[in-house]
Copies of this chain bind each other. A is one copy, B any other.
Amino acid sequence: MTNQAQLLPGTLDLLVLKAVSLGPLHGYGVLLRIEQISGRALLIEQGALYPALFRLVRQGLLTASWGTSQNNRRAKFYELTSAGRKRLDEEAAGWNRLAAAVASALAALPEEI
């Protein structure tokens, strides 16, 4: 487990939007897609995922519609709306700014200050 990252609050919604931006997914599929695109480093808990999906639908960033999953069961499929695409771009840019700033801070050496 040591090579897995602890997810910070605020990053789950970003990752859900990113996963769904790659193509429509049912709930469990979102979880698997995030694991896949993070190289198995981010394991999302179902207990956090479903509230996030509900929240993103309510905010108009995802739509949910009934469909049939690969193993022939009815499931809700999630798709990105245009507002969701815009939010994804904004959140990804914000994340990149934060990551660059923290990386810069963590790299500082005593002799440089």
Chain A residues at the B interface, C-beta cutoff of 8 Å: 3-11, 14-15, 18-19, 21-23, 33-34, 36-39, 41-42, 92, 94-106, 108-110, 113
Contacts and interface: CB of A to CB of B under 8 A. Distances in A.
A99 B102 contact: yes
Contacts of A18: 105-106, 108
A102 B109 CA distance: 25
Contact of A104 (B41, B100, B109): B41
- Taken together, the copies of this chain in the complex come to 2
A36 B101 CA distance: 10
A52 to B, nearest CB: 15
Contacts of A42: 98, 101-102, 105
A94 B5 contact: yes
B22 A113 contact: yes
